[in-house]
């Protein structure tokens, strides 16, 4: 119970822009959200379509993120509705109510749509029809999207477990568990399936790779050793989902570092001092991260060399960045979507998609960008300066 309460308190502290954790009277330390400044847009961003998943998510910082199989976009809400939409036109193809308080997902692959709940259940649906295939009790809260492979769905729970569930039956195939600190920031990074590995970050500052077949440890690395005298100072959670690109794994921790690791061995290749709980984005050359204070950083993937840093969105509780064409895109707590030039960090465009917070990173499928608000609105955006794909 203590750990659950501390998760909630830390989530509230992180999720309320302008509020200090410890009630400081210093306005500068409290970090009031930056006002949005006028500018001359260099991109024309238009809404392609808009649809609704459900009634929205009243619980803060749920890991309900849009996902796609290339032709359909899937989204879920906390009340238990999972829906599929035609990616191009936005027509809703099906919606299924699984009667669970969903908190993580959906994950999509191999013809399955898989989501986890805050009361310890995982449910799998048929991606084409929305028909429920199975549900499993993993006995712990799921606050990250399950990763779906060819044979298993991999589920990260808040008590430090990574569980492999048979994709056909939902039966547990194997599990591993990391020792978790007593105090942590609410939320967990999602596992990532990459070929024969499933890779995940944990609240103890470690990133580990396990064999998809049996859960045997390929490598386990402490990316950010906890430091400080108090438990709050020693928080080193890797809550952001790792990025696996080519032969490198990229991870960022809270009160920690942005790091590159070798995929095969876990060897640290480079590190940069940076703190984030929201996550990472990447393109072919660069890595992008949203910091706790609202800054966006761009670094070279090969070396970690900083290319630019943008602080215009201070304390606006940004999503993880998403690379979209030649831009880097983030959402904020007031429903604004911001477009920055990937090469320079210059503001290109801004669009208001709704009054609710945007918690999950925007999703790119082909030439469209999808944004899910905490009100349950799914909005598809396109760059009107580029020709449409047919």
Higher pLDDT, 231 or 335: 335
Higher pLDDT, 172 or 10: 172
User: Sign (positive/negative) of CA torsion 302, 306, 307, 312?
Assistant: positive
Higher pLDDT, 223 or 212: 212
Say what the pLDDT of residue 204 is: 87
In contact, 251 and 236? CB cutoff 8 Å: no
Say what the pLDDT of residue 184 is: 56
Burial of 277 (0-12, 13-18, 19+ CB in 10 A): buried
In contact, 379 and 85? CB cutoff 8 Å: no
Q: Inform me whether the pLDDT recorded for 231 exceeds 70.
A: no
Say what the pLDDT of residue 389 is: 56
Q: Inform me whether the pLDDT recorded for 205 exceeds 90.
A: no
Say what the pLDDT of residue 233 is: 58
3 state DSSP class of 11: helix
Higher pLDDT, 44 or 18: 44
Say what the pLDDT of residue 187 is: 63
Q: Residue 195: CA atoms inside 13 Å, Cβ hemisphere, count?
A: 9
Nearest to 76 by CA among 48, 96, 50: 96
pTM: 0.89
Percentage of the chain lying above the pLDDT 90 cut = 76
pLDDT tens, 305-352?
Answer: 999 999 999 999 999 999 999 999 999 999 999 999 999 999 999 999
**Could you tell me the pLDDT band of residue 264, with boundaries at 50, 70 and 90?**
very high
Starting at the edge strand found earlier in the chain, the sheet holding 217-222 runs: 192-194, 197-201, 206-211, 217-222
**Could you tell me the pLDDT band of residue 238, with boundaries at 50, 70 and 90?**
confident
**Could you tell me the pLDDT band of residue 256, with boundaries at 50, 70 and 90?**
confident
Nearest to 57 by CA among 374, 377, 378, 306: 374
Higher pLDDT, 50 or 292: 50
Say what the pLDDT of residue 63 is: 76
- Phi and psi (nearest 5°) for 207? -120, 135
Extents of the domains making up the chain: 2-383
Say what the pLDDT of residue 240 is: 86
Starting at the edge strand found earlier in the chain, the sheet holding 161-166 runs: 147-148, 152-156, 161-166, 172-177
pLDDT tens, 358-380?
Answer: 999 999 999 999 999 998 999 99
Say what the pLDDT of residue 295 is: 95
Give the CATH number of domain 2-383. Answer: 2.130.10.10
What mean pLDDT is predicted for residues 99-126? 97
- Residue that has been written with the tokens 């465009």 in this structure: 349
């Amino acid at each position: 119970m203590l750990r659950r309460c501390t998760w909630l308190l830390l989530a509230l502290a992180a999720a309320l822009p302008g509020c200090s954790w410890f009630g400081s009277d210093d306005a500068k330390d409290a970090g009031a959200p930056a006002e949005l400044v006028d500018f001359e847009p260099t991109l024309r961003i238009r809404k392609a379509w808009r649809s609704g998943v459900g009634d929205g998510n009243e619980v803060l910082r749920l890991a309900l993120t849009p996902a796609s199989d290339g032709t359909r976009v899937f989204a879920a809400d906390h009340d238990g509705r999972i829906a599929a939409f035609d990616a191009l036109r936005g027509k809703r193809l099906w919606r299924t109510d699984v009667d669970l308080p969903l908190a993580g997902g959906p994950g999509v692959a191999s013809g399955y749509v898989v989501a986890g709940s805050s009361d310890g259940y995982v449910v799998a649906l048929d991606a084409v029809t929305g028909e429920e295939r199975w549900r499993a009790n993993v006995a712990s809260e799921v606050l990250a999207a399950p990763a779906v492979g060819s044979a298993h769905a991999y589920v990260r729970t808040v008590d430090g477990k990574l569980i492999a569930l048979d994709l056909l039956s939902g039966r547990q195939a194997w599990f591993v568990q990391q020792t978790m600190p007593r105090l942590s920031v609410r939320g967990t990074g999602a596992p990532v399936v990459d070929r024969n590995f499933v890779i995940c970050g944990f609240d103890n500052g470690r990133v580990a790779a396990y064999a998809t077949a049996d859960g045997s440890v390929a490598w386990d690395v402490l990316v950010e050793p906890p430091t400080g005298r108090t438990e709050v100072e020693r928080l080193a959670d890797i809550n952001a989902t790792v990025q696996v690109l080519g032969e490198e794994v990229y991870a960022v921790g809270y009160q920690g570092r942005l790091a590159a690791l070798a995929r095969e061995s876990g060897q640290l290749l480079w590190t940069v001092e940076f703190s984030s709980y929201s996550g990472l984005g990447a393109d072919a050359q660069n890595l992008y991260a949203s910091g706790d204070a609202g800054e966006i950083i761009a670094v070279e993937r090969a070396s970690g060399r900083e290319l630019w840093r943008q602080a215009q969105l201070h304390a606006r509780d940004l999503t993880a960045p998403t690379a979209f064409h030649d831009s880097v895109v983030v959402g904020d707590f007031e429903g604004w979507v911001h477009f920055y030039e990937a090469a320079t960090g210059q503001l290109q465009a801004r669009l208001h998609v709704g009054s609710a917070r945007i918690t999950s990173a925007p999703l790119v499928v082909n030439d469209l960008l999808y944004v899910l608000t905490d009100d349950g609105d799914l909005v598809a955006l396109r760059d009107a300066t580029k020709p449409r794909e047919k």
